Structures are given as C-alpha cells and as structure tokens.
Chains A and B, each alone.
Chain A
Amino acid sequence: MFKNFLPKKILSSSNKLINNLLFLMIFIIIIGLIFALFLSPQDYIQGDSVRIMYVHVPASFLALGFFGFIGIASILNLVFKIKFVTLMAKSIAPIGCVFALISIITGSLWGKPTWGVWWAWDARLTSMIVLLLLYLTYIFLWNYVKNFEDANKLTSIIGIIGLFNLPVIKYSVDWWSTLHQTSSISLTSAPTIHSSMLVPLVIMFAAMIIYSLIIFYMRYKAELIKFKINKRNKNN
C-alpha cells in the first residue's frame, strides 16, 4: 500500500481517482448525517447534545493520528533522510490542524449544555490546545522559512517534540482527574457507547478519513510538483 504514495506513482496518476473519492465521500456523509441527526436515539441523560459526538470524536481522533504520522515522518526524515515523507507530512498538517480546531470548537459547544461551561483548563482540554499550537507552529515554519533544508529540519524537530504530547492527550483523562470524561472506545474492552450510537460514529469517521485522503492527495501532488520545479530551477 505504501508504494502507492511514492512520488512517481502520485505524479503519474490521474485525477479520476479524486472524483470517484469525492462522490464516495458525499454519499457516505449524507448517510452518516441521516444516522447522526435522525436515526440514532437521544442519550439517556444528554438528550440531543450527544449528536455533537459524531463530529467531535472522529475529528479529535484524526487530529491526533495525523500528528502521529507527522512525528514518524519527522523521524524518518531526520534519521534516514527520506525526503518525500516530510512532503507527505507537510501536506497532511493543515488537515490535522483543521480537525484539531473542529475538535476544540465542537467540544466547546458540547461542554456548555452538558458541563455548564464552554471551556475548562483541565488536562485534556489544555493538552489539546497544545496540539493545535504545535500544528500551527509546524505549518508556520514551513511557510516562513524560505530555505527548504532549514524548513525541513525545523519542522521535523517540531514533529518529534509533538510526539510526546500525544500520549499525554490520550491518557490525560486516566492519569489526572479531569472534567472531560474518559474514553468510551478502547482496544482492550467493549465500547461504552450503545451500538445504535456507534453506527453513525463509525460512518462519520469513514467520511472524514475519505475527506482527508482527498485533500491529502491533492496537496501532496502539488507539493511534489513544487519540489520538482524548485529542483530544476536550481540546476539551471
């Protein structure tokens, strides 16, 4: 599967794939929204506000996952000098950043009707803000450091530093007492979300993954072309 993301493959691929993915995404989002807004039941204590979960949880998950990808790509870049992985990381960063922002905004909208406050400086919410700041720093460095090699190094350092924040976000709700509830879905035990609510969650998750793939693919291809042009200009 990894071979499909090699620069040669990406550059020679047609845009038909994107169009197909786009239709698939729209289809899945419509189904997901029908489940999330109409077919799924209310929660026994939260009522309708539980529906925010169907955006909040997948967005948070992807924001963390994409930074994990950036971190690993940063290691591959600094240690093994594999350049195209940082171009992948650079392309995925704005997507993760937007998801981190969506996670924080929807979380805030969810907090008001359930907890009674928009915001609280507990460990989960604070570490999530740190993630957003790391994303912004990462993107900022790519945009404002003109020399490619310098930008490549600096962003990779941010990527590796940011890796340490990920377990803190994930386990903050277990390590410290927080206002945020603990995770409902884990690898080791059955989810504490009723199956009728798990369905829209999974569909929305799939939709967001496909959305990310589309944006990632377009950005990555553009980055590769930019990289090639810069290289050619330098050689001439």
Chain B
Amino acid sequence: MFGKKAKSRMVFLALFIIIATIVITFILRSLDENLVYFFSPTEIQNKPNISSNKKIRIGGLVKEDSFNKNDNSINFIITDLKNEIIVNYTGLLPNLFSEGKGVIAEGRLKDKKYFIAEKILAKHDENYMPPEVSKALEK
C-alpha cells in the first residue's frame, strides 16, 4: 500500500515517538518534585529534611472551625484529612477563602506543624452550580 521510502519513514517516526515518549516520561518523573505547585501536610510530614529558609507552598482544605483572627494576624489549619499544619498569616485573604474549601499558602515552615505564610491563594474545585442547587445538596 505504501512505497518503500514511506515505510522506512514510518518506522523512523514510530521509533522517534516511542523513544521521545520514554525520555519525556523519565524527565517529567525526575522533575516531579519541581512540577508540583504545593505539598500536602502529609507530604511535609514524610519529608526527612526540610529547611525553614526555603520558600514553599502547602495546600489542602481549611479545617472547619479552625479560623480565628486576632488584631491583624490570622490563624487557621490546613488539613488533608490525615495531617494538619497550623498557618499564621498577616494580610488580605482572597474572596473565595472559606472554611472547608481549598487553600494554598506560600511561605516558610517554622517546624513541621507550624507555617508562616506570606501569601494565601484560594483553590476551588471543578464543581460549578447555582447557589440553590448547592443549598439543596446540603440538605
């Protein structure tokens, strides 16, 4: 059906695609640590040595009833339902920040259980619905 030349080009391209896929997979795997945008509290817990000087991001859900504000400093807990980290923050919160919802904090770890944030980002999920539907679902 195909000419000889086309056949050899096909084989070459197939080989190229297979090799490139393998190479890219390896590169992406080895870069894994740098490709993630944030760590979960469990990942922080499992890290053997973690420096408190390096800026990192942690993410998870804002624990229900953990939010409290005194003067201008804010405290809340980020949880991934297995481990928790207390976050301390001074500054403005994004509009979508709320208890039970996703959040990402950027800053430095004081220790594995206490995080000083310099920036707070709200992370929302892939669910979109009108308020009435959300209320009906809650009931």
Contacts and interface: CB of A to CB of B under 8 A. Distances in A.
Nearest to B33: A176
Interface of B: 2, 6, 9-10, 13, 16, 20-21, 24, 28, 32, 35-40, 59, 93-98, 101, 104, 119-135
A164 B20 contact: yes
Nearest to B123: A179
Contacts of B28: 168, 175
A45 B101 contact: yes
Contacts, number: 114
B129 A183 contact: no
Nearest to A112: B94
Given A45-B101, A113-B95, A194 B123 contact: no
Contact of B134 (A44, A123, A175): A44
B10 A196 contact: no
A53 to B, nearest CB: 7
Given A79-B13, A164-B24, A179 B121 contact: yes
Given A115-B123, A177-B36, A194 B129 contact: yes
Interface residues of A, number: 39
A122 B37 contact: yes
Given A160-B16, A184-B127, 20 more contacts: A41-B132, A43-B129, A43-B130, A43-B131, A44-B129, A44-B133, A78-B13, A79-B10, A114-B122, A115-B124, A116-B94, A116-B96, A122-B37, A164-B24, A177-B38, A184-B126, A194-B130, A194-B133, A196-B130, A197-B129
Contacts of B104: 179
A19 interface: no
